[in-house]
Amino acid sequence: MARSSSLERRFIILAAIPLGTLLVLLLAIGVYLRLDTLSQVTLLLLVLGPCIWALCSLYQTVFDAFDSVAVQLDSLANEEFTVWHFARYRHGRIYALKEDLRRIATRISNKRAEYAHHESFVFDLVNELHSPVVVLDGHAQVYHANPAALAHYHQDSLLGVATKELGLYRHQHQWQLHQGQHQPRYKIDCHSLKRGARHYQLLVYVSIEQPLRSTEKEAWQKLVKVLNHEVRNSLTPIYSLTQSLREQQQAHSLQAQMLEVIEKRAQHLLNFVASYSKLSQLPQPQLQAIPITELVSRLQVLLPHIDIDCQSHSGRLLIDPEQLEQALLNLVRNAEQANTLSGTEGIRLAISKHNQWQLKLYDNGPGIDNPDNLFVPFYSTKTQGTGIGLVLSREIIRAQGGELTLTNHSQGGALAQICLPKAK
């Protein structure tokens, strides 16, 4: 088995061989010449002294060069790319080593710049995504968050925020998100990133709300089409025949009154189906960048009886103003009916700008009894309601990249909140 040995020890052993040989020769010469002790010591000092000094200097020079290499490599490991430790060497093997280290430093520097460029490109791409994206550092704190993530959490910055504050938690080695009742639903896709010795996690919030919305919308549109076709085909001849029979009956006879009831109910069902056919015929929004001041002026003319409080007088919204006004009219009509039920007055519209534009409509009615069914087609709490108004308003807002939610306000009454994107 080979014995372990250091370079220093080998150097000392190899240097001791010529020194020992020289010492033996000097002693033999002293004996041969029959020199006295003083002369013998003087000879040894004159010959061995310079040799020992030269070997010590050589030892120091060689291992200083090794120490310089170690320092240079440590500098490269710490991303310091200057090669100055061998500046005094301009020829020979050390100079060649210095040039090799310089080339390595240049290559590492170029790779580092390339990685930094790629990282910048990735973060620029992340910032352009409409889905929330959060980058976590090794301590599970936010290192970077794109504008969509800031908008999701309604914050101006998330730097250094812990995952617990974001509603994130680990379940079966996967990231999960606590889902609020009125928040969009997401699943979290996690990707690992490495930068030097540091490890990061890139969390992408993939919306499952949009596929659900599309499926829901497709389902009730098919239902509306079937109802529109079948009910119209059945009721139209009944309505016409009823009118013809009424003309043949006496004005106040029992038969005439019964036919009148049939006619009215048939007309009501035809109107009901016609109102729902609007959902499947909703035109595509013509989006425009509208200044907030212009929108407020239009709403003040359209809704002069409500209090409009605009907290931001700069910026623009990306909307279809006519369709947005139609949705607001539906919501204001609901608010007026709620106020009538509770015998109160007063409707307020508050407009503010954060990461998105927010339009909040407050009423003083009795509030919402069954919020889970608010946007269910054909559901209405009103005696003569069709359940079309809120569904239509929500589809108008969603088509413009926004969202409509209805909740009970803490001070009483209902709150209808519209979130809309800002125009760039």
Residue 121 is assigned to a structural domain of this protein: no
Phi first, then psi, for residue 253 (nearest 5°) are -80, 160
Whether the CB-CB separation of 82 and 75 falls below 8 Å is answered with: yes
Residue 79 is assigned to a structural domain of this protein: yes
> Which residue has tokens 């125009």?
423
Q: CA separation (Å) from 278 to 4, 85, 324, 330, 388? A: 89, 80, 16, 14, 9
The span from the CA of 78 to the CA of 262, in Å, is 89
The CATH number given to whatever domain includes residue 364 is: 3.30.565.10
Burial class (CB in 10 A: 0-12, 13-18, 19+), 402: buried
The span from the CA of 295 to the CA of 303, in Å, is 12
**Which amino acid, residue 23?**
L
Domain range holding 256? 214-280
Same domain? 239 vs 178? no
What's the pLDDT score for residue 225?
65
Same domain? 329 vs 402? yes
Q: Which of 329, 363, 327 is nearest to 344 (CA)?
A: 363
Residue 38 is assigned to a structural domain of this protein: yes
Written in H, E and C, the secondary structure of the chain is CCCCCCHHHHHHHHHHHHHHHHHHHHHHHHHHCCCCHHHHHHHHHHHHHHHHHHHHHHHHHHHHHHHHHHHHHHHHHCCCCCCCCCCCCCCHHHHHHHHHHHHHHHHHHHHHHHHHHHHHHHHHHHHHCCCCEEEECCCCEEEEECHHHHHHHCCCCCCCCEHHHHCEEEECCEEEECCCCCCCCEEEEEEEEEECCEEEEEEEEEECHHHHHHHHHHHHHHHHHHHHHHHHHHHHHHHHHHHHHHHHCCCCCHHHHHHHHHHHHHHHHHHHHHHHHHHHCCCCCCCEEEEHHHHHHHHHHHCCCCEEEECCCCCEEEECHHHHHHHHHHHHHHHHHHHHHHCCCCCEEEEEECCCEEEEEECCCCCCCCHHHCCCCCCCCCCCCCCCHHHHHHHHHHHCCCEEEEEECCCCCEEEEEEECECC
Same domain? 301 vs 414? yes
Structural domain ending residue among the three candidates 54, 76, 107: 107
Report how far Cα 329 is from the mean position of its chain's Cα atoms.
34
> Which residue has tokens 């040989």?
21
Same domain? 190 vs 253? no
Q: Which of 344, 287, 345, 283 is nearest to 316 (CA)?
A: 287
CA neighbours closer than 13 Å in the CB half-sphere of residue 24: 5
Rounded (5°) CA angle 108-114-118: 140
Measure CA of the first residue to CA of the last residue in the chain; give whole Å. 75
What's the pLDDT score for residue 142?
92
**Quick count: other Cβ atoms within 10 Å of Cβ 16?**
12
The span from the CA of 360 to the CA of 412, in Å, is 14
Give the chain's domain count: 4
Same domain? 266 vs 331? no
Residue 195 is assigned to a structural domain of this protein: yes
The span from the CA of 281 to the CA of 396, in Å, is 12
The CATH number given to whatever domain includes residue 157 is: 3.30.450.20
Same domain? 407 vs 300? yes
Same domain? 323 vs 400? yes
What's the pLDDT score for residue 276?
58
Rounded (5°) CA angle 166-172-173: 70
Same domain? 405 vs 349? yes
Structural domain ending residue among the three candidates 231, 263, 280: 280
Same domain? 156 vs 243? no
Q: What is the pLDDT along the chain (424 residues), one digit of tens a residue?
A: 455 567 788 888 888 888 888 888 888 888 888 888 888 888 888 888 888 898 888 888 888 878 888 877 777 777 776 766 666 777 777 778 777 878 888 888 888 788 778 778 888 888 888 889 999 988 889 999 998 888 888 788 899 999 988 888 888 888 888 866 545 678 888 888 877 677 889 999 887 766 666 666 666 666 666 666 556 666 667 767 676 776 666 656 666 667 676 777 677 666 666 655 665 666 788 888 999 999 999 899 888 889 999 988 888 898 998 889 988 988 998 899 888 888 888 899 999 987 788 999 999 888 887 766 666 655 555 555 555 678 778 888 888 888 888 888 888 888 999 998 887 6
Residue 358 is assigned to a structural domain of this protein: yes
Residue 120 is assigned to a structural domain of this protein: no
Residue 117 is assigned to a structural domain of this protein: no
Residue 340 is assigned to a structural domain of this protein: yes
Same domain? 248 vs 308? no
Structural domain ending residue among the three candidates 207, 226, 257: 207
Q: Which of 309, 315, 285, 281 is nearest to 296 (CA)?
A: 309
What's the pLDDT score for residue 418?
92
Rounded (5°) CA angle 377-378-381: 110
Taking every pair of C-alpha atoms in the chain, what is the biggest distance, in angstroms?
A: 166
Same domain? 313 vs 364? yes
> Which residue has tokens 């309505």?
239
What's the pLDDT score for residue 1?
43
Same domain? 381 vs 397? yes
